[in-house]
Homo-oligomer: A and B are copies of this chain.
Amino acid sequence: MTNRTQRAERRTDALSKERIVEAAIAILDESGESALTFRALAARLATGSGAIYWHVANKDDLLAAATDDVVARVVTDVDDGAEPRAAIRTVALGVFDAIDAHPWVGTQLTRAPWLAAMPRIFEAIGGRLQALGVPERAWFDSVSALVNYILGVAGQNAANARLHAHGTGREALLGAVAAQWARLDPARYPFVHRVAEQLPAHDDREQFLAGIDLILAGVTATLPAGTRTGSDGSRASRS
């Protein structure tokens, strides 16, 4: 009987998967992916490194749980009544911003795409494709295209953030890449030369959205005749 109440009144500092994941996210956000070690985690939780293994299978399991935590927060609260294309843009931007705030999420998403976070993204986007009038046989290819694009950007941003952590600022990084591209043989890399000029000034978030709009334009263009409704979503948004 007393056991019962004791368990209910469990001290808040008792170890649990939730508290471990929470601490892991804090370390990842504060100090980056390389700072998350079982020793650092144990120190922050004031326990032994072995204790963590009682609640978590291994480091991959821990990272998967942390990633799912962040993604779940983003994907769920999107207005259900919104126009499908707008809703897809909102979801995609949500994932983009989440990775901007937690770059390690980008790394995880591209390394372990089958984890719990993935169905969340699939559902959030896929449901809207359906509403858009995309025929069922094209569903899978269409979500897949959008999600793979999002994951590609996620990986890039995470990689850039890794450099930022090493001291390089965003401008310095873009400048260095632009300079490297400008140094390539113009005869063999004419296109890269032209694009290099646009690189330092471009806005990551705007370019991300432009890509989403491009894919949505493709989805709309391949819609069965007579189903097309609303704008084609290809307008370059400037806000």
Q: Which residues of A contact B (CB under 8 A)?
A: 107, 110-114, 119, 122-123, 126-127, 130, 136, 138-145, 147-156, 159, 162, 173, 177, 180-181, 184, 188-192, 194-195, 198-199, 202, 207, 210-211, 213-222, 232, 234, 236
Contact = CB atoms under 8 A, between A and B. Distances in A.
Nearest to A184: B119
A221 B211 contact: no
Given A184-B119, A194-B136, A111 B214 contact: no
A150 B145 CA distance: 10
Nearest to A174: B114
**Closest 6 CB pairs between A and B?**
A152-B152, A218-B218, A148-B152, A110-B155, A145-B211, A126-B191
A194 B148 CA distance: 19
B222 A141 contact: no
Contacts of A207: 140-141, 144
Contacts of A144: 207, 210-211
Number of identical monomers bound together in the oligomeric complex: 2
Q: Which residue of A119, A139, A152, A189 has the most chain B CB atoms within 10 A of its CB atom?
A: A152
Q: Which residue of A149, A188, A211, A234 has the most chain B CB atoms within 10 A of its CB atom?
A: A149
Given A145-B149, A150-B152, A155-B151, A214 B210 contact: no
Nearest to A162: B111
18 contacts: A114-B173, A119-B184, A123-B190, A126-B195, A127-B191, A139-B198, A141-B210, A141-B211, A144-B210, A145-B214, A149-B152, A150-B152, A151-B152, A151-B155, A151-B156, A152-B153, A216-B218, A218-B218
A127 B190 contact: yes
A76 to B, nearest CB: 10
Given A140-B202, A148-B211, A119 B192 contact: yes
